């Protein structure tokens, strides 16, 4: 972990399937969150709607697009 001391929350991407524990928790800390919505649920939180996907093979493309936009 020594080499990761200077990483800030805005350089991290958290991927999760739980709206509150994963996505909102990450967003509340300033961490980028991706929502793995494999149940095609409706976003029903007050936090900003995250980028969502429902197939793992799309995850890398999404992360690459996030990196390109920085």
Domains and CATH numbers, the chain: 2-68 (3.40.50.1000)
Considering the entire predicted model, what is its pTM?
A: 0.87
pLDDT average, residue stretch 35-60: 97
Q: Give the pLDDT of residue 1.
A: 60
Over 90: is that where the pLDDT of 3 sits? no
Q: Give the pLDDT of residue 69.
A: 82
pLDDT average, residue stretch 49-68: 94
Residue 21 DSSP symbol: I
Q: Are 23 and 47 in contact (CB under 8 A)?
A: yes
Alpha-carbon Rg for the chain, nearest whole angstrom, is 13
How many Å apart are CA 50 and CA 32, to the nearest integer?
A: 8
Over 90: is that where the pLDDT of 48 sits? yes
pLDDT average, residue stretch 23-47: 96
Residue 5 DSSP symbol: T
How many Å apart are CA 35 and CA 52, to the nearest integer?
A: 5
């Amino acid at each position: 972990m020594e080499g990761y001391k200077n990483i800030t929350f805005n350089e991290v991407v958290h991927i999760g399937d739980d709206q509150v524990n994963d996505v909102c928790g990450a967003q509340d800390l300033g961490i980028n969150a991706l929502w793995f919505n494999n149940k095609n649920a409706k976003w029903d939180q007050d936090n900003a709607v995250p980028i969502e996907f429902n197939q793992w093979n799309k995850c890398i493309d999404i992360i690459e697009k996030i990196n390109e936009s920085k």
